[in-house]
Amino acid sequence: MLALILLTGCDRLDAAGDVVDGLGDTTVVQGIFLGAEIPFGIELPDDAGIYTSFCKVFLAQVSDANDVTDAPVSGADVAFVSQETGKLGFDETDDGEYRLYSQDGLVYEPGQTAKLQFSLGNETGSLSVTAPEAPEFDLDNEGTSQEAQKVKVTSGRFQNLVVAVYDLDRDKLTWDNLPDDFESGVELNDEDAEPIDELIVPGEAFPRGSTYLVGVGGLEVGDATEFEGVNQALSAFGAGRMTLHMIEITGANAKP
Element (H, E) at 13: helix 9-15
45 — pLDDT class (breaks 50, 70, 90): low
Mean pLDDT of all residues belonging to the chain? 82
pLDDT tens column, 193-231: 788 899 999 999 999 999 999 999 999 999 999 999 999
Instruction: Give residue 64's pLDDT.
Output: 58
For 180, the 3-state DSSP assignment is: coil
pLDDT for residue 48: 54
Across 2-6, 151-155, 176-180, 204-208, least confident range: 2-6
Q: Model confidence at 182, in pLDDT bands (50, 70, 90)?
A: low
pLDDT value at 150 more than 80? yes
What's the average model confidence in pLDDT over 68-86?
88
pTM over 0.85? The answer is no
- What was the pLDDT predicted at 38? 74
Task: Report the distance separating Cα 169 and Cα 187, nearest Å.
Answer: 32
For residues 240-254, average pLDDT: 84
Rounded to whole angstroms, the Cα distance separating 159 from 176 reads 17
Asked whether the beta carbons of 60 and 71 are under 8 A apart, the reply is yes
| Domain regions of the chain by residue span | 9-250
Render the burial of 147-156: b for 16+ CB within 10 Å, e for the rest. eebebebeee
Going through the chain in order, the beta strands assigned E by DSSP cover 27-37, 53-61, 77-82, 86-89, 91-94, 97-101, 113-120, 123-130, 137-138, 142-144, 149-153, 160-167, 172-176, 198-201, 210-221, 236-250
